[in-house]
Amino acid sequence: MATPRLLGISGSLRSQSTNTAVLKSLGARLGDQAEMSLFALNDIPLYNADIETEALPASVAALKEAITQADGLIICSPEYNYGTSGVLKNALDWASRPGFNSPLKNKPVLIMTSSPGVLGGVRAQSQLRETLSATLSRVICGPQIVIPGVNQKIQNGHFVDETTIEFMLAGVDHLIAEIKL
Ligand code: FNR
Protein backbone atom coordinates (compact mmCIF):
# COMPACT_ATOMS: atom_id res chain seq x y z
CA MET A 1 0.00 0.00 0.00
CA ALA A 2 1.14 3.58 -0.68
CA THR A 3 2.20 5.74 2.23
CA PRO A 4 -0.96 6.50 4.26
CA ARG A 5 -2.14 10.10 3.94
CA LEU A 6 -3.32 11.51 7.26
CA LEU A 7 -5.28 14.68 7.83
CA GLY A 8 -4.72 16.54 11.09
CA ILE A 9 -7.53 18.71 12.44
CA SER A 10 -7.02 20.98 15.43
CA GLY A 11 -10.00 22.02 17.49
CA SER A 12 -8.51 25.46 18.11
CA LEU A 13 -8.26 28.42 15.76
CA ARG A 14 -5.65 30.25 17.85
CA SER A 15 -2.44 31.11 16.04
CA GLN A 16 -0.51 29.93 19.12
CA SER A 17 -2.75 26.92 19.70
CA THR A 18 -1.12 24.16 21.70
CA ASN A 19 -3.34 21.59 20.00
CA THR A 20 -2.15 22.70 16.59
CA ALA A 21 1.44 22.62 17.84
CA VAL A 22 0.95 19.03 19.02
CA LEU A 23 -0.28 18.02 15.56
CA LYS A 24 2.56 19.81 13.77
CA SER A 25 5.19 18.22 15.97
CA LEU A 26 3.63 14.79 15.57
CA GLY A 27 3.55 15.25 11.80
CA ALA A 28 7.25 16.04 11.82
CA ARG A 29 7.96 12.74 13.58
CA LEU A 30 6.03 10.39 11.31
CA GLY A 31 9.04 9.55 9.18
CA ASP A 32 8.13 7.37 6.22
CA GLN A 33 5.29 5.54 7.98
CA ALA A 34 2.76 8.19 6.95
CA GLU A 35 2.42 11.75 5.73
CA MET A 36 0.19 14.28 7.41
CA SER A 37 -1.23 17.61 6.33
CA LEU A 38 -3.27 19.93 8.53
CA PHE A 39 -6.63 21.45 7.73
CA ALA A 40 -7.31 24.73 9.56
CA LEU A 41 -10.93 25.32 10.50
CA ASN A 42 -10.70 29.13 10.55
CA ASP A 43 -12.86 29.65 7.46
CA ILE A 44 -15.61 27.17 8.29
CA PRO A 45 -18.88 29.06 8.90
CA LEU A 46 -21.49 28.06 11.43
CA TYR A 47 -23.57 25.16 10.21
CA ASN A 48 -26.75 26.26 8.51
CA ALA A 49 -28.80 23.81 6.47
CA ASP A 50 -30.11 26.67 4.33
CA ILE A 51 -26.59 27.56 3.21
CA GLU A 52 -25.81 23.89 2.68
CA THR A 53 -28.80 23.53 0.36
CA GLU A 54 -28.20 26.74 -1.58
CA ALA A 55 -24.46 26.49 -2.19
CA LEU A 56 -21.89 24.68 -0.09
CA PRO A 57 -19.29 27.20 1.15
CA ALA A 58 -15.91 26.68 -0.52
CA SER A 59 -14.22 26.14 2.85
CA VAL A 60 -16.66 23.37 3.72
CA ALA A 61 -16.27 21.76 0.30
CA ALA A 62 -12.49 21.86 0.83
CA LEU A 63 -12.83 20.26 4.25
CA LYS A 64 -15.02 17.47 2.94
CA GLU A 65 -12.67 16.88 0.00
CA ALA A 66 -9.65 16.79 2.30
CA ILE A 67 -11.38 14.20 4.48
CA THR A 68 -12.34 12.17 1.43
CA GLN A 69 -8.75 12.18 0.15
CA ALA A 70 -7.26 11.25 3.53
CA ASP A 71 -6.79 7.63 4.55
CA GLY A 72 -7.26 8.59 8.19
CA LEU A 73 -7.81 11.56 10.48
CA ILE A 74 -5.99 12.72 13.58
CA ILE A 75 -8.01 15.13 15.67
CA CYS A 76 -6.43 17.11 18.50
CA SER A 77 -8.95 19.02 20.56
CA PRO A 78 -8.92 21.33 23.52
CA GLU A 79 -11.49 20.88 26.27
CA TYR A 80 -13.97 23.73 26.58
CA ASN A 81 -16.31 23.49 29.54
CA TYR A 82 -15.90 19.73 29.75
CA GLY A 83 -16.58 19.14 26.07
CA THR A 84 -14.87 19.65 22.75
CA SER A 85 -14.63 23.11 21.17
CA GLY A 86 -17.64 24.46 19.31
CA VAL A 87 -15.32 25.06 16.38
CA LEU A 88 -14.55 21.37 16.07
CA LYS A 89 -18.10 20.16 16.72
CA ASN A 90 -19.35 22.59 14.08
CA ALA A 91 -16.82 21.34 11.52
CA LEU A 92 -17.73 17.72 12.23
CA ASP A 93 -21.40 18.60 11.78
CA TRP A 94 -20.67 20.05 8.32
CA ALA A 95 -18.48 17.08 7.40
CA SER A 96 -21.12 14.61 8.57
CA ARG A 97 -23.58 15.47 5.81
CA PRO A 98 -25.32 13.69 4.18
CA GLY A 99 -26.12 11.80 7.36
CA PHE A 100 -24.75 8.25 7.53
CA ASN A 101 -23.20 8.64 4.07
CA SER A 102 -20.69 11.46 4.50
CA PRO A 103 -16.91 11.63 3.94
CA LEU A 104 -16.57 10.56 7.58
CA LYS A 105 -18.27 7.22 7.00
CA ASN A 106 -15.79 4.36 7.56
CA LYS A 107 -12.96 6.86 8.03
CA PRO A 108 -10.40 5.76 10.64
CA VAL A 109 -10.01 8.53 13.22
CA LEU A 110 -7.51 8.93 16.05
CA ILE A 111 -8.68 11.25 18.83
CA MET A 112 -6.26 13.23 20.96
CA THR A 113 -6.89 16.00 23.49
CA SER A 114 -4.61 18.40 25.30
CA SER A 115 -5.04 20.96 28.05
CA PRO A 116 -2.96 23.10 30.36
CA GLY A 117 -4.90 21.39 33.16
CA VAL A 118 -4.15 18.11 34.89
CA LEU A 119 -6.84 16.09 33.08
CA GLY A 120 -5.50 16.73 29.58
CA GLY A 121 -8.92 17.38 28.09
CA VAL A 122 -10.11 13.86 28.84
CA ARG A 123 -13.69 15.01 29.27
CA ALA A 124 -13.79 16.06 25.61
CA GLN A 125 -12.79 12.57 24.50
CA SER A 126 -16.08 10.83 25.22
CA GLN A 127 -18.04 13.62 23.56
CA LEU A 128 -15.90 13.39 20.43
CA ARG A 129 -16.16 9.61 20.36
CA GLU A 130 -19.95 9.85 20.66
CA THR A 131 -20.21 12.46 17.92
CA LEU A 132 -17.98 10.48 15.59
CA SER A 133 -19.95 7.30 16.24
CA ALA A 134 -22.96 9.10 14.75
CA THR A 135 -20.94 9.67 11.57
CA LEU A 136 -20.10 5.96 11.23
CA SER A 137 -16.38 6.73 11.29
CA ARG A 138 -14.02 4.17 12.79
CA VAL A 139 -12.65 5.72 15.94
CA ILE A 140 -9.46 4.03 17.11
CA CYS A 141 -9.76 2.19 20.40
CA GLY A 142 -6.79 1.88 22.69
CA PRO A 143 -5.13 3.96 25.35
CA GLN A 144 -6.68 7.43 25.31
CA ILE A 145 -4.21 10.04 24.16
CA VAL A 146 -4.66 12.85 26.66
CA ILE A 147 -1.96 15.46 27.17
CA PRO A 148 -2.08 17.27 30.52
CA GLY A 149 0.06 20.29 31.31
CA VAL A 150 0.51 20.93 27.62
CA ASN A 151 1.76 24.50 28.09
CA GLN A 152 4.83 23.17 29.88
CA LYS A 153 5.56 20.83 26.99
CA ILE A 154 5.77 23.50 24.29
CA GLN A 155 9.05 25.26 23.53
CA ASN A 156 9.30 27.92 20.82
CA GLY A 157 6.01 26.75 19.36
CA HIS A 158 7.07 23.10 19.21
CA PHE A 159 5.70 20.26 21.32
CA VAL A 160 8.78 18.67 22.82
CA ASP A 161 7.70 16.06 25.38
CA GLU A 162 9.38 12.90 24.09
CA THR A 163 7.39 10.47 26.23
CA THR A 164 4.13 11.85 24.87
CA ILE A 165 5.44 11.88 21.31
CA GLU A 166 6.27 8.17 21.61
CA PHE A 167 2.79 7.57 23.02
CA MET A 168 1.20 9.46 20.12
CA LEU A 169 3.30 7.53 17.59
CA ALA A 170 1.97 4.29 19.07
CA GLY A 171 -1.52 5.70 18.50
CA VAL A 172 -0.60 6.43 14.90
CA ASP A 173 0.51 2.80 14.56
CA HIS A 174 -3.00 1.77 15.64
CA LEU A 175 -4.49 4.22 13.15
CA ILE A 176 -2.40 2.87 10.28
CA ALA A 177 -3.28 -0.71 11.23
CA GLU A 178 -6.96 0.28 11.04
CA ILE A 179 -6.39 1.95 7.65
CA LYS A 180 -4.80 -1.23 6.32
CA LEU A 181 -7.62 -3.52 7.47
C1 FNR B 1 -11.08 26.49 28.50
N2 FNR B 1 -10.06 25.69 29.02
C3 FNR B 1 -10.40 24.50 29.64
N4 FNR B 1 -9.42 23.59 29.99
C5 FNR B 1 -9.76 22.39 30.55
O6 FNR B 1 -8.90 21.58 30.82
N7 FNR B 1 -11.07 22.09 30.80
C8 FNR B 1 -12.09 22.92 30.48
O9 FNR B 1 -13.24 22.59 30.69
C10 FNR B 1 -11.75 24.17 29.88
N11 FNR B 1 -12.72 25.05 29.52
C12 FNR B 1 -12.41 26.16 28.76
C13 FNR B 1 -13.44 26.92 28.22
C14 FNR B 1 -13.14 27.98 27.41
C15 FNR B 1 -14.27 28.77 26.81
C16 FNR B 1 -11.80 28.31 27.14
C17 FNR B 1 -11.47 29.47 26.22
C18 FNR B 1 -10.78 27.60 27.68
C19 FNR B 1 -8.66 26.04 28.79
C20 FNR B 1 -8.17 25.48 27.48
O21 FNR B 1 -7.80 24.14 27.67
C22 FNR B 1 -6.95 26.28 27.01
O23 FNR B 1 -7.40 27.58 26.68
C24 FNR B 1 -6.22 25.64 25.87
O25 FNR B 1 -4.95 26.22 25.75
C26 FNR B 1 -6.93 25.81 24.55
O27 FNR B 1 -6.25 25.11 23.52
P28 FNR B 1 -5.31 25.80 22.43
O29 FNR B 1 -6.02 27.02 21.91
O30 FNR B 1 -4.02 26.19 23.13
O31 FNR B 1 -5.10 24.75 21.41
Tens digit of each residue's pLDDT (9 = 90 or more) over 152-177 = 999 999 999 999 999 999 999 999 99
Residue 60 pLDDT greater than 80, yes or no? yes
Residue nearest to atom 12 of ligand 1 (CA): 80
Residue bearing the CA closest to ligand 1, atom 28:
17
Contacts of 92 (CB under 8 A, 6+ apart): 104, 131, 132, 135
Q: What is the pLDDT of residue 8?
A: 98
Percent of the chain residues topping a pLDDT of 70:
100
Q: Is the pLDDT of residue 88 over 90?
A: yes
Ligand 1 in contact with 17 (CB < 6 A)? Answer: yes
Average pLDDT over residues 33-43: 97
The pLDDT score that the predictor gives to residue 124 is: 97
81 close to ligand 1 (CB < 6 Angstrom) = yes
Q: Is 78 in the pocket of ligand 1 (CB under 6 A)?
A: yes
CA distance 91 to 14: 16
pLDDT at 54: 94
pLDDT at 1 over 90: no
C-beta 72 within 6 A of ligand 1: no
Among protein residues, the one with the nearest Cα to ligand 1's atom 29 is 17
Tell how strand 72-77 and strand 108-114 pair up.
parallel
Q: How far is the CA of 107 from the centre of ligand 1 (A)?
A: 27
Question: Which pLDDT score, from 0 to 100, does residue 118 have?
Answer: 98
The answer to whether the CB of 79 is under 6 A from ligand 1 is yes
Q: Measured from the CB, is residue 11 less than 6 Å from ligand 1? A: no
How far apart are the CA of 51 and the centre of ligand 1, in A? 30
